[in-house]
Amino acid sequence: MQLEINVVDAFTDRVFKGNSAAVIITDDWLSDDLMQAIAFENNLSETAFIVADDDGIYHIRWFSPLTEIAFCGHATLASAFVLFNKHPNVESIKFFAKAVGFLTIVQTDDDKIQMDFPNTKPKKVKDIPASLLAGLSITPVEVYKNSQAYFVIYNAEADVLTVARDNEQLKQLAPLNVVVSCQATSADYIDYDFISRYFWPANGGDEDPVTGSVHTGLAPLWSEKLGKNTLLAYQASRRGGILDCVVAGDRVLISGSAVQYMTGFISVEESEV
């Protein structure tokens, strides 16, 4: 069978920046093995698979090259970008994912896509795991945790930008990943409230370029620290990405741009996996 595939760079308005995601829309679910095989072959941070139900709700699942992911922000943005382009008269899209429930997606007046996510604010950790301390070259100032990751707070941007990690140590934290973050204070990042980097050797690879889902924890954490509900974030990976964040009670609104990189077709069969 032939399946249309779209590759979109999310949280950026320039190709080769942000985070790439593949989007595949089907009438019915492919087998888990085939979806995982496609994601492995694509070798992108995530491949999103979408099936619409009779009520017009898009059920979405996300796969890294290694495993199915419970919650992925940048591939949700990429998926909404594809659907809005296919249906230009649609004003909002509703996704459903098992781990996060219903997600409402809209286009903003400044041509960004806004996603309504659950607030996943992390809690402070008193006993920091030894593998986390051994896995990072710079000692954390504070550590927090939610259901997705450990949140390592540093005082200086240089720490976030230069920290080295031992992936074998960080893998021992599975299923949790690690995000490092600090307040943005220098002239290089004067437009932003905070910066971050995200490491996920246990679930997807080495460093994720831009991670929408972890900002549902970062945004409320920095909202409390900085005393503001509207924040602009920069994920300081090699590709880099910009996220507009609004903390609204038990929800976090995350907005970003996206740009098309590729549209094509793949030829696969269930019997091949």
Write down the catalytic residue from 46, 68, 157, 207: 46
Could you tell me where the beta strands, DSSP code E, fall in 84-206?
92-97, 101-107, 113-118, 123-124, 142-145, 149-153, 177-183, 194-199
CA–CA gap between residue 81 and residue 260 (Å, rounded): 9
Residue 207 appears among annotated catalytic residues:
no
End-to-end CA separation in angstroms for the chain: 14
CA–CA gap between residue 160 and residue 263 (Å, rounded): 35
CA–CA gap between residue 117 and residue 247 (Å, rounded): 10
Cα→Cα distances 203→24, 36, 74, 174, 177, Å:
21, 13, 16, 8, 8
Helix %, strand %, coil % of the chain (to 5): 20, 40, 40
The catalytic residues are 46
